[in-house]
Amino acid sequence: MTRELYPAIDPYCTGYLKVSALHTIYYEEVGNPQGNPVVFLHGGPGGGIEGIYRQYFDPQKWRIVLFDQRGCGKSTPHAELRENNTWLLVADIEKLRELLKIERWVVFGGSWGSTLSLAYSQTHPERCLGLILRGIFLLREKELKWFYQEGTSYIFPDIWQNYLAPIPPEERGDLLAAYYRHLTSDNPQIRLEAAKAWSIWEGSTSKLIPADNLIERFGQDNFAEAFARIECHYFVNKGFLETDNQLIENVDKIRHIPAVIVQGRYDIVCPMISAWELHQAWPEAEFIIVPDAGHSMTEVGIRSALIEATDKFVNL
């Protein structure tokens, strides 16, 4: 059944939480202050939140908490890589939960948000009422090589040329490392050229049918700088995970938590093999394959499945 987004809604509360001497994160609360709490973990890392994310939840029933992770969106300092890693973000989520006096909440995350959701829930399972995950990304070597080195290039060779453009041919044997050098250059022009190419690559491949408005957003200077720098920082550091398969190896810690996994069959950014392998290790989680969708949560089938999941989980 096709589901439409809930109507656009403004936050009833916004604020800033200082999580370290360096970083301050922006957060907002939307919907019903007495509703069932849910925390929305955005993608990237470095993507930031958008107003449309509020519309996947019934505002009469949910208390929706959204925040910009370190270095992106309205959080400060912008595009900062220092003191920015997976486990610090996990700690930030807990600081935000404590600030808002929430005992337990549903955790909702897609793409990198699914990575962070798994890392958070496996660290603090006692704080999780349920998990709604989309576009599974486990930050494994094979996933990074598929999208940033070789794999997706066979499907999008025309767009791949633009992704390669900032990197000299002699540096292309390890594109992640080469991009990291460019994105951390002292030359702002070099940084921005690399950031826009990196970001537009993902924006161009996120939907089954590419959308100009998404590509345009990903190509904006301010967005691209944080998105590309922070993503590349996390990826060259293997997500700061202890092992390549850590998030699957630790599934036993969350096996008891109600969960749903929504995956587009033709997701090029986060190929379905990762969602499939997670589900094989965690058959208790409901697994929904959307047959006519790519990666984006705004594609009709994914949108509908996510809204059905939030409606179902609101009574947990």
252 belongs to the catalytic site:
no
What span, in angstroms and rounded, lies between the C-alpha atoms of 179 and 229? Answer: 9
Q: Name the residue with tokens 């992640």.
A: 176
DSSP state of 92: H
Look at residue 76 and give its three-state secondary structure: strand
Active-site choice (267, 274, 279, 296): 267
Q: And the tokens for 179? A: 């991009």
Active-site choice (42, 182, 233, 295): 295
Active-site choice (23, 92, 111, 274): 111
295 belongs to the catalytic site:
yes
Strands (E), the chain: 13-18, 24-31, 36-41, 62-67, 105-110, 128-134, 259-264, 286-290
With CA atoms as reference, report the closest residue to 315 among 61, 102, 133.
61
Q: Name the residue with tokens 């096709």.
A: 2
Strands across the sheet containing 24-31? 13-18, 24-31, 62-67, 36-41, 105-110, 128-134, 259-264, 286-290
Q: Name the residue with tokens 């049918």.
A: 209
Q: In one letter, which amino acid is 279? A: H
Q: And the tokens for 174? A: 């390890």
221 belongs to the catalytic site:
no
Write down how long the chain is.
316
What span, in angstroms and rounded, lies between the C-alpha atoms of 182 and 193? Answer: 9
Q: And the tokens for 188? A: 């702002």
Q: Which residues are catalytic?
A: 111, 267, 295
